[in-house]
Structures are given as structure tokens and as C-alpha cells.
Chains A and B, each alone.
Chain A
Amino acid sequence: MKLQTKYSLTILALIVCVVVAFTAIIFWQAQVTFRELNKETSQAIENAMFSELEEKQKLLVRVLATALTNPVYQVDMIKIQDLIRSVKEHYDVQFVLVYDKEGRVIHDGTKELSLYGTMLRSVSSKKLLANKQLVVDTTGNRTSIDVPIFISDELLGGVSVGFSRDSIVSAIKKRKDYFLSLAERDSRQELAVMLSGAVLFSLIGFIVSVFLGRTWSKPIQLLSSLTDKVGRGEYDFAIPIHRTDELGQLAEAFAGMVKNLKELREKEIDQARKIQQSNTDLQYSNSELLKANKAKDEFLSIMSHELKTPLNVIMGYAELAQTDTLRAIGLKPEEAVNKILIHSKDLLHMVDEILQATRIEAGAARAIVEDVDLFTFLDDLKTSCDNPTAKELTLIWNYQHDLPPTRTDRDKLKHILQNLIANAIKFTPEGSVTVAARYFADKKIVEFKVADTGIGIPKELLASIFEKFRQLDASNTRTYGGVGLGLFIVKRFAEMLGGTITVESEPKKGSTFTLTLPVVPPSQHYIDHHRERMPAIPDIEP
């Protein structure tokens, strides 16, 4: 059963009990009062009615006696009979006897005058004739009233009227019953009014109980629903309970609890997020470690291969020379030395790359800027570059005199371009390798492009081409040598020079590496010594 229903039923029960109790008490008191009043009132009414009726009877007989004076004197029996009949017809009279001064009946009201001449022996008539005054005699259930009939002072006789006491009592009882019925009716009406009132108050009580039940249970229902919300993890809500009673305190405590839960939840979420982040980081780190480990394994594999290959060659030729086997195989000593030198250079280059990468990783590599005339620089580079050998490959240089001087690290730039050119030649079996440089005065950048028509790079490897130990072919049986640090060093050097390097490539069509470097105005010293060339670069100001 709902709390609201319990509240409502409890309040309703209380109200109904109170109303019924009050109604019962009031009705009981009213009944007691009614009974007392009825008892007293009925007695008073009875007495008053007796007195009233007796007075009326006396008056009636007096009037009758007065009216009978002339008829009796004139012995007008018809008039006497009419008078008696009128009295008998209109009043509750048992008998009417008109008698003469000796007590003989003159008229008894009947047409046959059956009592005519009868001598009355009643006490009242005797008293009347003796005292000549009104006499009331109550015997048994009958009251007789005798009134003398005079003409002047002469006594003609008397009239005796008998009233049934039974009928009087009956009349009084009728009136009493009437009054009692009125009282009872009033009582019933009062009961009906009280019952109506009780029903009305109960109805009002029902409405009030429903209202109070709802009002009282509403905060609890609200708290219950809010508790459900909290259970579902919802904390952002207002508690619209503004009271100072226990429910208000409960709501306040609930609000505090929700606030604490919210903070705990937030902390929990934050911690979870952190843990998740940590997990992610760990997973990333783990993957990186795995990747690094894999790279290391590859590196070690490559290194072991790449380092062992030239060393084996060097050692082979050196052993051949030591054992003087060269002649036996028809190889000249200088050719063997040349081979040793070539592979020693490769080995040195690899070691150099490793050192460079190590310095970069250790943060020890620094750009050492100097004034560089890019045109001259490229000319020198062109000169230093070996032409491709034993290949159907053409190295094309494309740059103009408009290239400006700039301040940059000459060696690193050279390393970059040499590396890119060497790679291009290495991965281009045939076709061409184009080295181009172009100055964009509006952007104040110079763009170097090394484009080949070689094997190209698969799209999925483009993103990682600049990472360490990345090579197109990581297998031990790969076609192209190298430890996979060249492009890593290139990228890092480009970044050290404040530039960027990008690659565009399509497998079997070739690759284009673009190095973009900012053009930094040369030093004043450079300007002063190369003023003759300065007009060629008007945008550059010292």
C-alpha cells in the first residue's frame, strides 16, 4: 500500500472517528435533554391541559346555564333540547341534564326524554341545590359540572354536564403524543441533520485526508524518485523541498548525500578516465615498445646484415691481399683496395648515420647556421655528387640564379639533399632523378624537390617513411641496403632548419620529396662581401 494511501486512510479514519464520536455524544446529550424536557414538558402540558379543559368545561356549562334560563322558565322543551344538542354535538360531553329546583330532570337531551321526571341523587346536584353555586365533582373517570339556573334571584334549577375523564385523558394523551411525536420528529430530524453533518464532515475529511496524504507523502515520493535518479547515476537536479521540519532536514541531508555522491562519482570518473588514459598510454607505450622492439630487432638484423656485408667484403679482399691470392684469381691489388675503400665508406656512412641519429635522439644535434649562397651551394653539391653508375639513369639539376642567400646549416642541408638524391638514385633503376630548387619570394621560402621515376612508395608506408629504421623492404633478403635512418635524420634536420619535408609518391611511378626552408636574410657581413650579387635578390634585406 502506498504511503499516500496509508496517510489518507489514517487521517480519514481519525476524522471519521472524531466526527462519529462527536455526533454520537451530541446526539446522546440531545436525547437525554429531549427526554428530560419531554418528561417535564409533557407533565406541564398535561396539567395545563387539565386546567384549561376544566376551565373551558366550566365556562361551557355556565354559558349553557345562562342560555337555558329563558327556555327553562318558559318550559320551552324544544329550545332546551336544541341547546343540549348543540352542547352535545360540539363538545365531548357524556350527558346533559336539566333539572328543576327540586332536582327532577326536565330534559336529558333525548327526544324521548327517557329521564324526564327522574329525581337526581348525585352529590353535585344536591350540593348545587343546597349552595346554589357551581359544583365540580370528579368521580372515577367522569367529571360532572353543575351550574345553577337563575332568573333574577329565583333558582329555577340547574344543569348538570358530565364530561368523560377518559376522553379528557385521551385528548391529553393525544396532545402529549402529538408533542412527543413532534419531539421525536425533531429528534429524528436532528439525527438526520447530525448524520448528514457527519457524512458531510467525513466527505470533507476524505478530501482533506487525500490532500494531506498527498501533501505529506509528496516530499517522500519526490525523494524516492530522486533516489531512483541517483541510482541511475543522475546527480544534477534540484530538490524542490523547502521546509524546516524533519522532511526538510531529510531533504537537506539527501541533497548533501547527493552532492557527496556526485563528487565521489566525478572523482571515480576522473580516476577511471585517468586509468583509461593510462591504459591507453600504456597500450600505446606498449605498442611503441613493441614497435621499438620490433624496430630494434629489425635494426639489429639490418645492422648485423648491413654492417657485416661491407665488413665481410673488406675482410675478404684484405685476406685475399694478405694471402696473395689476388693474382691467382686475376684481380689487381688496387681493385681490391678500391673495393675495400668503397665498402669502408659505406660502413662509415652507416656508422655516421647511426651516430647522427643517436645525437638527434639525445638532443645533442644543433643547427649551426651560416650564410649560404644557395646557388653556389647547389653547384657545389652537383659537383660533389657522383653520377649514377651502370644504370640507365639520368641525374638532372634544375635551379636558377635567382636563388637567394640565406642563413642555414650548410652541412645539414647538404646532408639532407645528398641523402634524398642518394635514395632517389638507389631506388630508381632507370629513368631520371631531378633535383630542383625554386625560390618563392612572396612566401619567403625556398623549395627543394628531389623527384625520381623509381619504384615509388606504397601508400600505406608514406606515413612512416620518416620514422627510424623504416625501409621499404625490411626483410633480410632485401634488394636495397641501408639501416633505415636516412629519412629519419633528413626529417629531423629539416625541422632543425625550420623547414618541412614532405613526400608524394606512387608505386612504380616514382617519388617526389619536397624540402621547404624559410629564407633567412644573410648576415651583414655576407651582404657586404657579396654586394655584387645582392641586386639579384632585391626582396632580401639585411
Chain B
Amino acid sequence: MSTFDDIDSPKLAEDFGAYHPINHMKDSIMNLLVSLGFEIVNGPEIESEEFNFDMLNIKKSHPARQMHDTFYVNNKTNVLRTHTSPVQIRGMLEKKPPLAFISGGKVFRKDDDSTHLPMFHQVEGIYVDEGVSFSNLKDLIFRIIHSLFGDDVQLRFRPSYFPFTEPSAEVDILSKDGKWLEILGCGIVNPVVLENCKIDSTKFSGFAFGLGVERIAMLKYGVNDIREFYKSNLDFLNQFK
């Protein structure tokens, strides 16, 4: 028989806040890559055209460099980085191979509709050493995809085009309703990019890959509208504890 003194106060309901689901997803991917030996590098969101485009073999005539795709700032002297790749360029200029970098963060493109936002997040990585091949790249991609979507997920590699990789590929996974969903882009680092970073492309080769964090988060959490992530609605954020 309990007495008044025995009564415990009711347990306090857990009242923690939450990490933003996009940052949480970004950190999860980056932690996985760190566990594989990649080193995190950071860089600025306001970049020069040289680092955002030229060093990455994106020529002046490339559509991405037109005013309708890229945000220019400061009387066109700088751009808001359109990808996190320039961070890796900075990393390659600083250190000598073998090197394995990842960078993650905000990127900006001049888009705004139900599936695209002018600001979104990427995680990109690069690995440069002697004798790195597309076969090695496949090994890493399998490890990333299996870690994110389970060992049973079916995936395919499709040839694609990025100025900074050659050969280039996009990777799709087969969804439960039988549709192929694009997950990431990757490829063998274009020797031109290595040479731009003063790396001897006759001796070293590398691979690079990049993932859109929102896209993966939408798939993993079942969020259908990308804009939900950025309304800062507590009912939404409270679900990601």
C-alpha cells in the first residue's frame, strides 16, 4: 500500500529540441565518409568564378555560367558557389596526394519551384592517389548507398556529363514502386582539373562524387515537398527528434 510519501513526482516528459533534419542528414553522410578515411574541408559560400568554374574545367560557354543559373554578387566579381567542389580545389592546392577530402554545406542556384530551391545542401568528396579507377569509385558508391538505403537496394550507374569528371556517372536506386530515383553524381576526376591544381595527372588519378542532401532527406523521411524543410514550423521540426 502506497503512502503519500512514497508517491514519486510524475516523470518529466522528454523536452529536448531537435537538430534540423537537413543538417542531421548532412552530418550522417559526412560521418560515414569520415569513418572511411575522408578528411573534412570547409570553404566560403561566396566564391570567385575561378574556383567555382575555371579550375573545374567549366568553360565560359557552359550554360551554368549564364546569368540565369548562377547568382552573381558584388558587381559580378564573385558568385554564390553553385556546388561545394571549389572547396576541394582549395584542398588540392594546399596538400599533396594521396588525399581524400569531403566538404558539405549550402550551395546556391537561380531556381525556385516546388522541386528546386535557390539554396540547398551538398556533400561532395574527392580521392586522389596513384592508380585510382572507376572500379574503386564503384566500391565507394556501393558502400555509401548501402549504408543509406540498406544492403538490398538495387542501384544502377548511368553515364552522365560533368565538366570536372570523365568518365562521369549518375547513380539511381530502384524505389519500392519500381521507379529509378537519381541519388548522386560521380566520376573520374578530369585530368585537366588535377593539372589545374598542380597535380601530375600522368602519375595520379582520382574520383569525385556529390550528393544532394535534400533529395536524400526527402527519400529517407518521406517528405514530398522540399519547401517544408525551410518553413521552420515547430510541428515539422518536432518530428525529427
Q: Do A and B bind each other?
A: no
The residues of B with any CB-CB pair to A shorter than 8 Å are none
